[in-house]
């Protein structure tokens, strides 16, 4: 069967660091409250002159270099974001230009919020494995700091900015073993940004809205379900999973998911403490950390899991 594999990874975090202590001076919260409930210690904030495509550019250059390639070699760009540079053109097209790629293959954005990278990776895998694309750059990039109400301590403490990227190449043996994507729009109200542009004005609220309790319950259920779906499709017992890389939303959601999979915490890749919830960027950033520090090794099974507004959710199972 045709397949694709991850040949290089990269990540980027903006220079400005906003710690829990610093945030507590701006809103009624504390380091202890944030840390014990979410596992977050700090988040990164994009500079005023940084766009989502700029964050993506840094991460993409790292991933392309790690794959031993040049930007001009890239045939397809699939970029997951909920915070695009503009309504159109796509941030993927803008990234293509910033990489210096001319007359390239397709470039498209994927809007699946925190599941975005899993969605983008699954789409790119099908394109590369089928021969429709020679290779693919898959990116998750977000600037959530610009859609947060900084007076709402229930949401502003959770999110940060960043980008992560991978390069996919064709492979004779499955690297990406299986992927599973789902959505249910009836749950859109519990996590959304309901504002929109109408006749040159923003109508509705342009800030992120979240029903934290409802999101927690929904996320834990569907993450475990889609992980089991992947295991069944691959005919693989859960204990064969070496690493689980979930969307880095909240340490409690991640720990609860591991319990439903009957896997020890030690197999969980955690970076939420370093950058908070970076939505579509969190999985590729966590993947890059685990690849570069040597935790992920050849022959290991890696399960990536995402759930986000929409609601969307999905899994990608990789044999490294």
59, 301, 295, 3 alpha-carbon torsion, rounded to 10°: -40
Q: Is 114 a catalytic residue?
A: yes
Alpha carbon distance, N-terminus to C-terminus of the chain: 17
pTM above 0.95, yes or no: yes
Phi/psi of residue 32, nearest 5 degrees: -60, -40
96-106 pLDDT per residue, tens: 999 999 987 99
Cβ atoms of residues 92 and 102 within 8 Å: no
Tokens of 277: 């919830």
**Of residues 272, 243, 271, the one with CA closest to residue 258:** 243
For residue 38, CA distances in Å to 29, 42, 204 come to: 13, 11, 29
Cβ atoms of residues 63 and 10 within 8 Å: yes
Q: 115-134 burial string, b = 16+ CB within 10 Å, else e?
A: bbbbbbbbbbbbbbbeeebe
pLDDT of residue 174: 85
Q: Which of 156, 250, 277, 301 is catalytic?
A: 277
Q: Is 156 a catalytic residue?
A: no
pLDDT of residue 62: 98
Residues 111, 97: Cα–Cα separation, whole Å: 20
User: Mean pLDDT in runs of 10 for the chain (320 residues)?
Assistant: 91 98 95 96 98 98 98 98 97 98 93 98 97 97 97 95 98 94 96 93 93 94 97 97 97 96 97 98 98 97 97 98
Q: Which of 44, 58, 187, 247 is catalytic?
A: 247
Cβ atoms of residues 13 and 38 within 8 Å: no
Q: Which of 44, 58, 93, 114 is catalytic?
A: 114
pLDDT of residue 1: 62
Tokens of 102: 């001319």
36-88 pLDDT per residue, tens: 999 999 999 999 999 999 999 999 999 999 999 999 999 999 999 999 999 99
């Amino acid at each position: 069967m045709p397949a694709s594999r991850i040949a290089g990874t990269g990540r980027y975090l903006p220079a400005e660091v906003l710690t829990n202590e610093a945030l507590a001076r701006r809103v009624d919260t504390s380091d202890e409250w944030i840390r014990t409930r979410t596992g977050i210690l700090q988040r990164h904030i994009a500079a005023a002159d940084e766009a989502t495509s700029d964050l993506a550019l840094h991460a993409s250059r790292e991933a392309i270099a790690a794959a031993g390639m040049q930007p001009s070699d890239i045939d397809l760009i699939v970029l997951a974001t909920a915070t695009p540079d503009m309504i159109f053109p796509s941030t993927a097209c803008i990234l293509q230009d910033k990489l210096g790629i001319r007359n390239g293959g397709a470039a498209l954005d994927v809007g699946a919020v925190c599941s975005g990278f899993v969605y983008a990776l699954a789409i790119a895998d099908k394109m590369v494995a089928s021969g429709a694309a020679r290779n693919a750059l898959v990116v998750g990039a977000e600037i959530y700091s610009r859609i947060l109400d900084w007076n709402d301590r229930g949401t502003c403490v959770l999110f940060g900015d960043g980008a992560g990227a991978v390069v996919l190449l064709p492979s004779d043996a499955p690297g990406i073993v299986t992927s599973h994507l789902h959505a249910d729009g009836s749950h859109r109200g519990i996590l959304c940004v309901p504002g929109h542009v109408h006749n040159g004005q923003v109508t509705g609220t342009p800030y992120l809205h979240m029903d934290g309790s409802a999101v927690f319950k929904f996320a834990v259920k569907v993450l475990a379900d889609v992980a089991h779906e992947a295991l069944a499709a691959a005919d693989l017992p859960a204990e064969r999973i070496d690493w689980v890389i979930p969307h880095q939303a909240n340490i409690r959601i991640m720990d609860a998911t591991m319990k439903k999979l009957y896997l020890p915490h030690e197999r969980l890749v955690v970076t939420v403490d370093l950058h908070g919830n970076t939505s579509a960027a969190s999985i590729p950033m966590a993947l890059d950390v685990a690849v570069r520090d040597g935790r992920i090794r050849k022959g290991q099974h890696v399960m990536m899991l995402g759930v986000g507004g929409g609601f969307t959710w999905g899994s990608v199972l990789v044999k490294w």
